[in-house]
A and B are shown apart, each in its own frame.
Chain A
Amino acid sequence: MTTELRSRFHQELEALEAEVIELGLLAAESVRLAVDALVRRDAGQIQRVIEGDDEIDRLYMDVERRILDLLATQNPVASDLRLISALMHINLHLERVGDQAVNISKMALATADLPPDESILVRLQEMGDIVVRMMRTAIDAFSRRDLELCQKLPVMDDPVDDLNRGMYRQVVQLAGDPARLEWGIRMNVVARQLERVGDNAVDIGEQVAFLLTGQFREFTDASHPDA
């Protein structure tokens, strides 16, 4: 009776999931390229990251529109409802990660003529490597429906938070040289963006856990860190 229409609905859900996974890999790659371009001072690659965000935004809008269509017409329930809810949230997190890659690139552009500090670049590269791995892990956990993998994300995020907190002290040490200090302050923004990418990856993991268990809970709660 409803079989054909309903199976088209389920096909559309699968197609949306594939698109969100593609978007996830694209957003992770965008962050990787942004950090790499910043460290190597590759102006061409910086520009490509900024331009590449249009494709991320296009996918984001497309997924959002198609999800609204399904909500309006298909009355999704149970695991379908949880998948749609998770897709909506993950989609938004990925769009933000794309923006964070753009923000990093803009900082790279703004500091192209300023003297860099090698140890800060090493720190940023390390943060970048971890958060890109986290993004890929989150997407992988989603596509494989792997709850255990999701739960590794907050642990992976701990060193990112530590590296971000340590930035401040390193930047302060550049205070003697105005040009180097300006560079350092901008790099502090980059660290902050990378830290946000890590948070987005953890949040994606939370959505996947919700999809799998039907229970929503935050892996970490910034306002109650010890709870």
Chain B
Amino acid sequence: MKGVEVSDLSAWFGINQALLDVNVSAQPEAVTAIIGPSGCGKSTLVRCMNRMHEEVRGARVRGKVLFNGQDIYAPDVDPVEVRRRIGMVFQKANPFPTMSIMDNAVAGLKLVGGFSRQELQERGEQALLAAGLWDEVKDRQHDPGGRLSGGQQQRLCIARALAVEPEVLLMDEPASALDPASTLRIEELIDDLKKEYTVIIVTHNMQQAARVADWTLFLLSGHVVEYGPTERIFTNPSDKRTEDYVTGRFG
């Protein structure tokens, strides 16, 4: 199938197990939210979905992550190629502060190499447009990325992730450091992006999950407690632990 299918995935940091036999299918052209208390394994799970987890010293993964039917952990798979096709946006916007806005947007493409100046400009514009930033920066695309507001910087990072034309976008708390208006812009953007991408978002903000996600996964101590349509998780969850978590009875 298309999308991302995680099967029997376990992950460790040294001797500490962070994920225990996780199974989940993130549907294509939909938003899947991962919720759960701090330390439950949310970030680890998304970092396993594009082989970022193994970059941590002593980190280990067992199980499968199928992307378009192919296991990204198969021995012949290049992790760099995986990360190009499964992009990631982090909690803290991390543009290159002195690099221009346009250069930031195409930074990933430059790493891949082989694009003419004109191609870079065109794909940079498209990415900024897709990230909902173009109109705000088109007259100052050569200004340093560090001069943008926090919300704009985050959209710049989304543009940078989109420029390399991924199929999946992993977002780890993409709006948790932003004010409400910038958060709303990011949420609208996510809603827009799902028309073309498989979006998987980690969030601490349950209202955000309720607003943007089609599917919600509740993770607790590395276990999947419940995974289902967002509406059901927030009106009538089937597991008592989900109920207690979303209603604020713990966590």
Which positions in A face B, CB cutoff 8 Å?
Answer: 2, 6, 9-10, 75-82, 214
Q: How far is the CA of A85 from the CA of B246 in the complex (A)?
A: 17
- The answer to whether B243 and A75 touch across the interface, beta carbons within 8 angstroms, is no
Residue numbers in A under 8 Å from B237 (CB-CB): 78
Residue numbers in B under 8 Å from A75 (CB-CB): 206-207
Contact of A82 among B206, B207, B236, B249 (CB under 8 A): B236
Q: How far is the CB of A55 from chain B (nearest CB, A)?
A: 32
B248 contacts partner chain A, Cβ-Cβ < 8 Å: yes
- The answer to whether A2 and B235 touch across the interface, beta carbons within 8 angstroms, is no
Which positions in B face A, CB cutoff 8 Å?
Answer: 206-207, 210, 233-237, 242-243, 246-249
Contact of B236 among A2, A6, A10, A78 (CB under 8 A): A78
- The answer to whether A81 and B248 touch across the interface, beta carbons within 8 angstroms, is no
Residue among B206, B234, B248 with the highest chain A CB neighbour number at 10 A: B248
Query: Given the known A-B contacts A214-B235, A214-B236, are A79 and B248 also in contact in the complex, defined by CB atoms under 8 Å?
Result: no
Query: Given the known A-B contacts A75-B207, A77-B234, A214-B235, are A2 and B247 also in contact in the complex, defined by CB atoms under 8 Å?
Result: no
Residue among B234, B236, B237, B243 with the highest chain A CB neighbour number at 10 A: B236
Q: How far is the CB of A145 from chain B (nearest CB, A)?
A: 14
- The answer to whether B235 and A81 touch across the interface, beta carbons within 8 angstroms, is yes
| Interface residues of B, dominant DSSP | helix
Q: How far is the CA of A2 from the CA of B244 in the complex (A)?
A: 13
Q: How far is the CA of A6 from the CA of B248 in the complex (A)?
A: 6
Q: Which residue of B has the minimal Cβ distance to A5?
A: B248
Q: How far is the CB of B38 from chain A (nearest CB, A)?
A: 9
Q: How far is the CA of A10 from the CA of B207 in the complex (A)?
A: 18
Q: How far is the CB of A16 from chain B (nearest CB, A)?
A: 15
A-B contact pairs, 24 of them (CB 8 A): A2-B248, A6-B248, A6-B249, A9-B248, A10-B249, A75-B207, A76-B247, A77-B206, A77-B210, A77-B234, A77-B235, A77-B246, A78-B233, A78-B235, A78-B236, A78-B237, A78-B242, A78-B243, A78-B247, A79-B247, A80-B247, A81-B235, A82-B235, A214-B236
- The answer to whether A79 and B243 touch across the interface, beta carbons within 8 angstroms, is yes
Q: How far is the CA of A76 from the CA of B235 in the complex (A)?
A: 9
Residue numbers in A under 8 Å from B242 (CB-CB): 78
Residue numbers in A under 8 Å from B247 (CB-CB): 6, 76-80
Q: How far is the CB of A88 from chain B (nearest CB, A)?
A: 15
- The answer to whether A81 and B234 touch across the interface, beta carbons within 8 angstroms, is yes
Q: How far is the CA of A153 from the CA of B237 in the complex (A)?
A: 27
Residue numbers in A under 8 Å from B233 (CB-CB): 78
Residue numbers in B under 8 Å from A77 (CB-CB): 206, 210, 234-235, 246-247
Q: How far is the CA of A79 from the CA of B243 in the complex (A)?
A: 7
In the A-B complex, list the 8 residue pairs whose CB atoms are closest, starting with the nearest.
Answer: A214-B236, A6-B248, A77-B234, A80-B247, A77-B246, A78-B246, A78-B243, A78-B247
Residue numbers in B under 8 Å from A81 (CB-CB): 234-235
Q: Which residue of B has the minimal Cβ distance to A75?
A: B207
Q: How far is the CA of A123 from the CA of B242 in the complex (A)?
A: 51
Q: How far is the CA of A77 from the CA of B243 in the complex (A)?
A: 9
Residue numbers in B under 8 Å from A2 (CB-CB): 248
Q: How far is the CB of B152 from chain A (nearest CB, A)?
A: 28
Q: How far is the CA of A33 from the CA of B251 in the complex (A)?
A: 49
Q: Which residue of B has the minimal Cβ distance to A210?
A: B236
Residue numbers in B under 8 Å from A79 (CB-CB): 243, 247
Q: How far is the CA of A10 from the CA of B235 in the complex (A)?
A: 17
Residue numbers in A under 8 Å from B207 (CB-CB): 75
Residue numbers in A under 8 Å from B210 (CB-CB): 77
Residue numbers in A under 8 Å from B246 (CB-CB): 77-78
Q: How far is the CA of A9 from the CA of B247 in the complex (A)?
A: 10
Q: How far is the CA of A81 from the CA of B210 in the complex (A)?
A: 13
- Known A-B contacts: A77-B235, A77-B247, A214-B235. Give 11 more (CB < 8 A): A2-B248, A6-B247, A75-B206, A75-B207, A76-B247, A77-B210, A77-B234, A78-B237, A78-B246, A78-B247, A79-B247
Q: How far is the CA of A75 from the CA of B210 in the complex (A)?
A: 11
Q: How far is the CB of A116 from chain B (nearest CB, A)?
A: 51
Q: Which residue of B has the minimal Cβ distance to A1?
A: B251
Q: How far is the CA of A6 from the CA of B251 in the complex (A)?
A: 11
Q: How far is the CA of A78 from the CA of B230 in the complex (A)?
A: 11
